[in-house]
Structure 1
C-alpha cells in the first residue's frame, strides 16, 4: 500500500458566484415599492496552505478532485446570498505548484504560506444594486460568475539543510538513525529506503535537519532506479554529504569510483554539483573497511573534500562529523541574503490601456478579449431583453464599439466575445447609442416618480372634476 506520495495531479474547482435577484417590493397600499432584489454570494476559493503536520500528498493521490462551495443566490427584501466557503487544502512544506505545461506557479515554503489555486466567482448584482436615477426599476439582475477550474500539479521537494547521498546500502539510513531521533527502515539489502527520511540534529547551538534519500545508481538522472524520483528532494539542501561504503562486497566498486559516479549523476541532474559537499567514509568498524578508508583518504582530500571516517554501528567519529556538518550549515545560512521587509509594489494601469483587445481573425471574425467584457457576458441573462440592452450599454461605454469600427468591422460582421472554446458570437450592427440608451426610459416606471406637491395634486384633482362636469354637460338630455 502506498504510504508516501510526493507528486500528484490535482483538479480543483472554485465555487460559482450566486445569481442576483430581480424583485419588487410590495406591501399594502403600496403595490410597487421599488426594486429590492439582493446580490448573490461570492463563490468559495480553493487555497493551498503549508501545514507542518502534513508530510505527504497521499490524500490528494486518492482524491484528486476538490471543489469549493457555491455562493447562494440573492433574495427579495434586499437579502444578499451567503458567500461560499473557502476550501483549505493543507500541503507539506516545500510543495511546488505547477500548471499543465510544467511551469512553476508557486513555491510554498514555510508554515502558513498560502496560494489561491482557484478563485471563486463573483456574485451577481440584484436589481436593487442596479437601480439608478436613469434606471429606477430594473427588471433584471446579473448572473453569478463561474469559479475557476484548474488542473495543477503538486510536487514535493523536501526542505532540509543537509542531504545524505550515495549508493544503496552505503549506510545512509544507519547514519541518520544515530545522528538524530529518526527511525528509518534498516536492512541488509539494496533499496531498503523507498521514501525520504528526515531527522533533526543538534550540534552545540546549531540545529539542522538532515535528509536521507533513496540510494543512487548509475543512470539515476535518466530515471534508473529510484534516483530521478527523489533527486528533487535534495534540491533545497544547502550541504550534500557523500556516504561512501568502504566495506562493499562488490569487487568492481571502491569509494573513489562511487564518488565519481554520484558526482556525475548530480551534474547531469543539474546544479547539484555546485553545492558544498563533504565525504564520509562509512563502515570503518570492518577491518578491511578501515584499511581502505585510510588508503583513499589522501586522494579525496587532494580533491578538496573534507573527509571523515565513521562507523554508524560502532558510533565512531559521529560527534566530529555532526559538528563539522553544523559548521557547513551555519556558513550556508550566513551566506544567504537577509529577508527584506515586505514591499508593496504598485503597478499603475497604463494611460492607453483600454482593458480589452479587438483582433480580426483569418476567417474574418472579430474577437474581443478582455477581463471586463468576458465577465459581463457571463453575467448576462440573454433571455431577458433588458439585460441584453444593459450589456450593450456597458460595452458601448467601455469603447468596444469604437474599437470595432477602428478595426474595420462593418454591419453584419461576426463578433465574438471570449475565447474560442467559450465565446458569445453575434452579428454586429453599429449604432450611435446601444441597447437601453436608445429606448430612453427602459427600466423606469412613472409610479416610482417622486410624489407631487399637495398644491399640484389639488389642482390636478380639480382639473379632473372639471373635465368630468364638462363631459356631463355635453351629454345631458335636452
Structure 2
C-alpha cells in the first residue's frame, strides 16, 4: 500500500484530571484523635507536542485525532499523596505550527526537541493535613482535584526548507530535485504527478541546504483551486523561491513570461500566517528543458525580458544536467546571504511577571440575567469553586473564608449586594451571606459542618423568587389600571 502524506490535522486533546485530596484523621491505639493525615491528590498529566526528527508527516494524528493524558490519583490517609498522572508525549515533525480552530497561531515548533504544552493537567486537591491551621486544627474536608484542560487544535506542517521550487504542473520540479539531491520523488508526464512536497538535501561546496518542490500551482491557487492552497504554506520558511519554467510545453496559451506572472500573482495574494511577506524573498527563474532545440531558442528569447525584471535567470536541462552546477552554487550564495542576515538566536530567558500592586485578582459585575445578582470573575475564585465539595458545609465555609480574605465580600458590599443576593462564580450560583474573617472561634463547629450555614432565619431563595413574582404581578396590574 502506498504511503500517505498528511500535512494538516485537527486534534482533540484532554489533559488529565487532578486527584482529590483525602480527609482522614490519624487513628492509633490510645490516640483516638491523632490529627489530620489526609494526603494531597496527584496532578493530572499534561499533553505535550515534541518535535521528532524521525517524524515527517501528521498521518498518525489524522487517523487518531483523540488523545488523553493520565489522571492524578486520589490522596490517602497516613499522609500519602496521590501519584501524578502520566503525561502524554505526542511526536510531531519539524516545522509543525499549532493553531486554534479560529486560525490563531499558538506555537511554531522548529528544532529537534522543541516542546509545547498543548493541554495543561489539572491540579490535585489538597488533603486535610495541608489545610490544617491554628483555627481549624482538624478539617473535616479536603479540596477536589481540578479538571484537566480540553482543547481542539489544528496542526499544520510547514516544510523547513531553504529553497522552494514553484511552477506549473509538469514543469520539471521533481526532476530537478531528483538530480541535485538524493531525493527520489515520483516523476511522470501528467499533471499533478506530485501530490506531496518533496524535500532534498543539496551540497554546493561547503554549503548544505534543503530544497522542496511544491505541488504544481495554477491560477487561483491562493483561492483554493487545484492543489496550491494546501501547499503554499510549505514555502513560508524558504529563503529563496525558484520559478521552474517549462520551455518545451505544448500548450499554445502558455509561455515563460505568462507562467512567471501567473505564479507571482498567486504569491502576492497569499498571506503567510507565520508573518513576513513572500514578495521580499529573493527570486530565481530556471528555464528548464533546454535540451529540446525549440525550448533552447525560446529560453534565449525570453531571458533578457526576465533579467530586465530583476530576476536571476538560469538555463538548465535535468536530462543532460546542463547548467545544474551553476544553479546550485548560485542558490547556495543566496541561502548564505539570507542566513547571515538573520538575527542570532538568543538563549531562552525566564521572564518574571509579578502581579500589579493594584491587581485584586478578580472582578465583580452585575448579572445581566438577574438585576439582583452579581458575577465574580477571576482565576483564583473560579479555581477555588471548582475545588470545593458543596456537599460538605465545612468546605463551603472554607470557601467563604478564602473569598473574604481575597476581598470579594468587601467588593460585593461596595457594589450594593444584599444578604441573599445570588452570586455566580464559574458554574456555581449561590446566595451570598456575609461572613466574618476566617479564624474567629465563634464560627468553628463540628467536623464537616459550619455554623454559618445552619442559620435558617433569613428568607430562602424560593421565598425571594415568589416575592419578586408578586411584586412584578402587582406592578403589571397597577399599570393596567392606570391605562384604563
> What TM-score, normalized to structure 2?
0.89
Distance 1:84 1:326, change over 3 A: same
Partner of 1:48: 49
Secondary structure class of the residue paired with 1:145: coil
CA distance in 1, matches of 2:237, 2:177: 18
CA deviation map 1:128-147 (0-9, x unaligned): 11112221111111111111
Q: Residues 137-216 of structure 1 correspond to what in structure 2 (within 5 A)? A: 137-216=138-217
CA contact (8 A) 1:390 1:436 kept: no
Contact persistence 2:401–2:435 (CA under 8 A):
no
Asked if residue 305 in structure 1 is aligned to residue 311 in structure 2, the reply is yes
Q: Is the 8 A contact 2:200 2:210 kept in 1?
A: yes
2-structure distance, mates of 1:71, 1:48: 20
The corresponding residue for 1:373 is 381
**SS at the partner of 1:264?**
helix
The count of residues paired between Structure 1 and Structure 2 equals: 440
Q: Deviations over 1:33-60 (max 9, x none)?
A: 1111111101000011111111111111
Contact 2:136-2:439 at 8 Å conserved across structures:
no
Matches within 5 A, 1:232-311: 232-270=233-271, 271-311=277-317
* Alpha-carbon displacement from aligned partner over 1:294-348 (angstroms, at most 9, x marks no partner): 1111111111111111001111111110000000000000111112233332222
Contact 2:288–2:318 under 8 Å retained in 1: yes
Rounded Cα–Cα distance in structure 2 between residues aligned with 1:14 and 1:113: 19
Q: Is the 8 A contact 2:48 2:88 kept in 1?
A: yes
Residues 15 and 200 of structure 1, relative CA distance in 2, 3 Å threshold: same
Instruction: Report if the CA contact (8 A) 1:43-1:122 is conserved.
Output: yes
Shift of 1:79: 0.8
Instruction: Tell me the CA shift for residue 27 of structure 1.
Output: 1.7
Separation in structure 2 between the aligned mates of residue 178 and residue 251 of structure 1, nearest angstrom? 29
**1:396 is aligned to 2:426:** no
Work out the CA distance in 2 between the residues paired with 1:290 and 1:307: 13
State the shift of 1:441 in Å: 5.2
Q: CA deviation at 1:443?
A: 5.2
Following superposition of structure 1 onto structure 2, how do residues 103-118 of structure 1 map, counting pairs within 5 Å? 103-118=104-119
Counterpart position of 2:475: none
Q: Name the structure 2 match of 1:218.
A: 219
User: 1:77, CA displacement in angstroms?
Assistant: 1.0
Q: Find the counterpart in structure 2 of residue 14 from structure 1.
A: 15
For residues 436 and 424 of structure 1, the distance between their equivalents in structure 2, rounded to whole angstroms, comes to: 26
Match for residue 428 of structure 1 among 425, 432, 448: 432
Q: Structure 2: how far apart are the matches of 1:130 and 1:429?
A: 23
User: 2:361 aligned to 355, 373, 392, which one?
Assistant: 355
How far apart, in 2, do the equivalents of 1:108 and 1:300 lie? 37
2:330 is the alignment partner of 1:324: yes
Deviation at 1:212, TM superposition (A): 0.6
Tell me the equivalent position of 1:341: 347
Is 1:48–1:114's contact at 8 Å kept on the other side of the alignment?
A: yes
**After TM superposition, where is structure 1 displaced by more than 4 Å over at least 4 residues in a row?**
433-438, 441-444
2:250 partner SS? coil
Query: Cα 1:21–1:190, aligned 2, differ >3 Å: closer, same or farther?
Result: same
Distance in 2 (alpha carbons) for counterparts of 1:433 and 1:361:
26
Once the two structures are TM-superposed, the CA of residue 22 in structure 1 deviates from its matched residue by 0.9
Q: Distance in 2 between matches of 1:124 and 1:316?
A: 71
Q: Secondary structure at the residue paired with 2:165?
A: strand
Matches of 1:429 and 1:125, distance apart in 2: 25
Structure with higher Rg: it is 1
Structure 1, unpaired ranges of 5+ = 445-478
When structure 1 is superposed on structure 2, of 239-248 and 428-437 the one drifting more is 428-437
Match of 2:365, SS state, is: strand
Q: Give the drift of 1:163.
A: 0.1
**SS class of match (2:339):** helix
How far apart, in 2, do the equivalents of 1:154 and 1:437 lie?
56
Contact 1:136/1:443 (CA < 8 Å) preserved in 2? no
Q: CA deviation at 1:15?
A: 0.2
* C-alpha distance in 2 between matches for 1:404 and 1:103: 36
RMSD of aligned residue pairs (Cα, Å): 1.5
SS of the residue 1:60 aligns to: helix
